[in-house]
Amino acid sequence: MSEEKTLVTWHEQTVKRQRGCVVWFTGLSGSGKSTVANCVDAKLHEMGAGSVVLDGDNIRHGLNASPELLSPVHGDEFAKRFGLGFGAQDREENIRRIGCVAEIFCSSGMLALTAFVSPYRDDRNRVRKTVTERGDKIDFVEVFVDTPIEICEQRDPKGLYKKARAGEIKGFTGIDAPYEAPDKPEVHLAGDQPVENLADQVIDYLRSIGKLGAAVAE
């Protein structure tokens, strides 16, 4: 039996707003993505700019929750269908969902700072396409937090590398799963620098493309 097509139509909004921006932080686990994103957010807040941080771990506590988190509330069948793990397809859907959420913030005039490993180039490029097709090419800024895996393992704030090396975690990015670095990120950060310096580099770039607005451009 063939399924009926879902009948949905895009509804144009009455209020036209100046678009914000999606600032997509990518890098290995432990590279400092969330730390830098939060530092940028704090600086933007002080400047009076509207921003929000969408963090990979936090999102997996709600919107992109795992089957284990969903099952007690919604049941096993629901959890199996909608919960996300860390396989390739689950990662793809994880990034697709958060890309849609980030675009909503962008269309409302906010600066959406997303901090996700997002290891696959195609996944990140699909988000870029979604955001820029609805706005402009400067509406998506890819920030590569380029921290060597040796440093990430030394930091290992969540103990994940240790577990991956011990075989307790399978398919861990950088160990037994690939990380595809950006080809031409708008901002390329050396992750071994002080966080304040890295955040300033991101803000300087946003200022250079006019994403901070006249009130906070100076």
> What are the residue numbers of the active site?
118
The residue type of 90 is: D
The residue type of 101 is: V
- 8 Å CB contact between 111 and 49: yes
d(CA 171, CA 178): 9
Residues 111-145 as b or e (16 or more Cβ within 10 Å = b): bbbbbbbbbbeebbeebbebbeeebeeebbbbbbb
End-to-end CA distance of the chain: 62
d(CA 155, CA 30): 6
- Tell which residue, 21, 26, 78, has the closest CA to residue 188: 26
- 8 Å CB contact between 160 and 203: no
